[in-house]
Amino acid sequence: TTCCETNCDEPIGECGDDALQGDLNHDGILNVLDIVLMVNIVLDGDYEAIADMNGDGIINVLDIIILINMILS
């Protein structure tokens, strides 16, 4: 599975020094804004590799839960 961009050859989580898995607004912080964006991705049926927290090729409630747990821990 690839990361961040459709032509990225690096594994998820290794998208470069400034990329943070789950940081959907690219502000360098995991917070509620990223959760809102991920919920919108799920509702729209879209796919963004940076939102695929478990690397299963699908953005769904499992990815949202992983992101929430990362923020809370």
What mean pLDDT value characterizes the chain? 85
H helices present in 20-59, as ranges: 32-44
3-state helix, strand, coil in the chain (%, to 5): 40, 0, 60
Predicted local distance difference test score (pLDDT) of residue 46: 96
Q: Which residues of the chain have pLDDT under 70?
A: 1-18
Opening angle at CA 52, ends 46 and 54, nearest 5: 145
What letter represents residue 55's amino acid? G
The pTM of the full predicted model, rounded to 2 decimals, is: 0.75
Predicted local distance difference test score (pLDDT) of residue 5: 52
Residues 19 and 3: beta-carbon distance below 8 Å:
yes
Residues 45 and 33: beta-carbon distance below 8 Å:
no
**For residue range 31-47, what is the model confidence (pLDDT) as tens digits?**
999 999 999 999 999 99
